[in-house]
């Protein structure tokens, strides 16, 4: 744990370089308002606070306090929501709204640190593990960076290859569709810890996926049926055309669900490069099919590119998982992925 804390502090320096570079690029290519000192300062504060929030929540997950991590995340998000709502109603401006996000992330970080401190450390614990974390964490960059790029590259491609109207329709479509990721992410995080702790069998992984789809499929079906009027009700009649992209994105979210669970299981079992491959393949597929579909199909084309990309991520993660299971069976003569009992 102390190695994790030490490494987290050391990584603030390269983080500051990345944030400053992103701030400059945003100012030049997106909005000159980010060149104002108050907006820039708020942006950097949010970046650092968000980083420490992630580090704190991931530490809770790593020591098995998955429920407390989720609760901490929810409390910080609600706090952020209240602040942003007030800042919007009072028309306090962009810098203040970014500061609201920073304060929400800071609350998450403080709550997470408080839980870790109350839990206590092992007496005489040495500062170990920083090099191991940096080495193995580097191998997992493909999973994390690939996953986040796959989530966002479609919107960037749409902005570059289509009109602003299509970007607006896609933004309206992605927001409600992404709600389907919530149970997948929750289940995947718990499976990550159980796999790393040797308590997750291949049968248990399949059972959890079946239960997950028992929840997701009915929700997606309802969304498909009510798409035409619910989007108009929430966003207005000018966004009625977003329903087509929304329906395709519901398929994309169902295709993504196995990756969000199995990809983390693979990482928890120690196959860091295999997990990274599943994230990177999604980015490559999204870029290729996005360029092919978006110019002629607009937002719907971006949605279909996401379906293909997310499917490839799930299939790759599943293939790596099956290979790991076969290798384990060959070595130990057991059918399960781990020696532990199914959880």
Threshold 0.75, pTM exceeds: yes
pLDDT at 149: 82
Contact of 153 with 185, CB cutoff 8 Å:
no
Per DSSP, 125 falls in state -
DSSP alpha helix (H) spans, 90-140: 94-119, 130-139
Half-sphere exposure at residue 75, Cβ-oriented, CA atoms within 13 angstroms: 15
Number of neighbouring beta carbons within 10 Å of residue 252: 24
Residue 65 pLDDT > 60, yes or no? yes
Break the chain into its structural domains and give their ranges: 1-138, 140-343
Would you put residue 201 in left (φ > 0), alpha (ψ -120 to 50) or beta? beta
Which of 272-276, 277-281, 299-303, 319-323 bottoms out in mean pLDDT, i.e. has the lowest? 272-276
pLDDT, tens digit, for every residue of 221-246?
Answer: 999 999 888 888 888 888 888 899 99
Residue 26 pLDDT > 70, yes or no? yes
How far, in Å, CA of 42 to CA of 27, rounded?
A: 14
Distances (CA, A) of 217 to 152, 184, 210, 213, 252: 24, 12, 11, 6, 12
pLDDT class for 339, splitting at 50, 70, 90?
very low
Where is pLDDT greater, at 317 or 127? 317
Give the mean pLDDT of the chain: 87
Greatest Cα pair distance, the chain, in angstroms, is 66
What average pLDDT does the segment 257-264 reach? Answer: 92
Per DSSP, 338 falls in state S
pLDDT at 125: 58
Count, residues in the chain:
343
Give the tokens for residue 128: 């170990």
Where is pLDDT greater, at 293 or 128? 293
Residue identified by tokens 């609600």 is: 78
pLDDT, tens digit, for every residue of 116-168?
Answer: 888 776 555 566 778 888 887 887 887 888 888 888 888 888 888 887 788 88
């Amino acid at each position: 744990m102390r190695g994790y804390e030490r490494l987290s502090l050391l990584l603030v320096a390269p983080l500051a370089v990345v944030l400053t570079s992103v701030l400059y690029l945003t100012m030049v290519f997106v909005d000159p308002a980010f060149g104002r000192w108050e907006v820039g300062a708020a942006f950097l504060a949010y970046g650092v606070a968000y980083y420490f929030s992630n580090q704190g929540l991931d530490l809770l997950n790593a020591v098995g306090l998955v429920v407390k991590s989720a609760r901490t995340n929810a409390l910080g998000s609600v706090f952020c929501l209240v602040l942003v709502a007030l800042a919007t109603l009072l028309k306090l401006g962009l810098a203040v709204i970014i500061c609201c996000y920073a304060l929400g992330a800071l609350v998450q970080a403080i709550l997470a640190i408080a839980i870790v401190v109350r839990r206590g450390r092992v007496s005489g614990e040495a500062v170990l593990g920083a090099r191991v974390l940096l080495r193995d964490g580097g191998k997992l960059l493909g999973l994390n960076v690939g996953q986040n790029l796959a989530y966002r590259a479609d919107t960037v491609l749409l902005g570059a290859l289509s009109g602003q109207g299509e970007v607006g329709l896609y933004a309206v479509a992605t927001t409600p569709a992404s709600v389907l990721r919530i149970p997948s992410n929750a289940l995947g995080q718990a499976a990550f810890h159980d796999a790393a702790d040797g308590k997750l069998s291949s049968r248990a992984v399949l059972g959890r996926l079946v239960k997950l789809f028992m929840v997701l499929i009915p929700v997606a079906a309802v969304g498909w049926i009510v798409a035409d009027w619910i989007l108009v009700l929430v966003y207005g009649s000018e966004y009625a055309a977003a329903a087509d992209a929304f329906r395709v994105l519901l398929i994309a979210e169902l295709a993504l669900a196995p990756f969000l669970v199995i990809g983390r299981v693979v990482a928890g079992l120690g196959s860091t490069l295999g997990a990274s491959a599943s994230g990177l393949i999604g980015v490559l597929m999204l870029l290729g099919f996005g360029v092919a579909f978006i110019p002629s199909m607009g937002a719907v084309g971006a949605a279909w590119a996401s379906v293909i990309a997310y499917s490839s991520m799930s299939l790759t993660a599943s293939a790596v998982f099956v290979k790991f299971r076969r290798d384990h069976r060959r070595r130990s003569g057991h059918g399960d992925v781990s020696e532990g009992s199914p959880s």
